[in-house]
Homo-oligomer: A and B are copies of this chain.
Amino acid sequence: MGLLDYFRNSRPDGTANVAKERLQILVAHDRAERHRPSYLPKLQREILEVIRKYVDVDMSAVSVNYEQEESHEVLEFNIILPDTVRHVV
């Protein structure tokens, strides 16, 4: 099952959608060389900078979750956008 299937399955048809601007970003890295330092923490900062070019994200509305296992690491952002988003561009 791919990630897109996961999203489809988690959104059953017929569910009333609350109109909410929300951005969810996930970066998953399978690492072959386990002892190399991770660049995901740096990536985290840069991805947020890219996002903020497009939407005026309040940093207090950004939740970041980073998990590192032996050969796998996952970086997850959950961003609640304001109802009336001021678009930067």
List residues of chain A with CB under 8 Å of any chain B CB.
Answer: 1-4, 6-7, 10-11, 17, 19-33, 36, 39, 42-43, 46-47, 50-51, 53-55, 65, 67, 71-72, 74, 76, 83, 85, 87, 89
Contacts and interface: CB of A to CB of B under 8 A. Distances in A.
Residue in A10, A11, A25, A85 with the greatest tally of chain B CB atoms within 10 Å? A25
A38 to B, nearest CB: 10
B67 A32 contact: no
A1 B83 CA distance: 24
A20 B28 CA distance: 13
B24 A3 contact: yes
Nearest to A31: B21
Contacts of A20: 30, 32
Given A4-B67, A24-B29, 10 more contacts: A1-B10, A4-B65, A7-B74, A17-B30, A21-B29, A21-B30, A26-B26, A43-B51, A46-B53, A47-B47
